[in-house]
Structure 1
Amino acid sequence: MTSTIAGAYIDKLKAHFSVRKDEELAQRIAVGKSTIASWRQRGTIPLTSRMKLEELTGVSYQETQREFVADVGEISHLIEAGLNLALIRLGSKLSPDSYSAWAIWLSLNRRKLLDLIFEDQNEGSGERNMEGAVTRTFLRIANNQLLTPEQLLQLRASASED
């Protein structure tokens, strides 16, 4: 999965024309290769260009948007499941009172946990496929290799020092 809707649409256009490179797509749709690079970098394609491309190819930008959002939603659910699994695993080591405090702390510090997850992904196999990277990270959480109770305790201790 590409990281933007524009990138996903460009990839669909390349598939439509059976080309592999952005430069080849640029030739097929009569724009400069820098135009496609700009669309990718900005993460958006101007409306007039999208309309022309849809008319030319029949490839729907709105359909691409829906598919992209659905894919991101699936990834979010997997990350959420990983965070919940980490909390459950930690909860087995806590009293009921401290479990409530931890649930609140995890909720308030979700960003730090997500940073830890994505830091782990970046240190991984260099995988560019987001689904693969998230799945690999979830499996590391499930196998108690990431977001372990010990890591969470250390993260909370370091947060209270800030």
Structure 2
Amino acid sequence: MFIVLTLCIILNIACPYQVFANTSSDDALRLTVADWAYEVRDQGDYDFNSTASFPKGERAYAYFELAGFAAKEENDLFSTDVRVDVALKTHKGLKLFSQKNVLIMDSLYEYRPDMLWFYIYVDVPWWAGRGEYTTELVIRDELSEEVLVASRDITIY
């Protein structure tokens, strides 16, 4: 198809295939909600932590809503395959904690999902010094091979 499209462009003739270029950022893998929380109960039901501050030795929750991921249709069902890695770093880049595939969302749906919600938590090490740290989230859409890296600051006291 690429060769046919290239020839159509060079020869300035109508292409026999429909080709759509999507430049909308609405289709890109993105976080529509990314909030720190004291606790997460369900989709949209969480206790928002506006200061992003947590005591050391405690659990820090983060609530997310993800859009722009791929869904594959097969046998009248839609499947997703999104994986999440997480890391906690000092501002100088030293990793205090990291884990690959902390969450794997490879579910089947009757209808194509527009949004996936999830939460993660990090047990802040008791030995972590007080101060500001950076959490890094790597979200991989295995179907579209798109990767999203998001960083958020967190304060440990």
Same-fold status (TM-score > 0.5): no
The answer to which structure has the higher strand fraction is 2
Q: Whose helix proportion is higher, 1 or 2?
A: 1
| Structure 2 length-normalised TM | 0.30
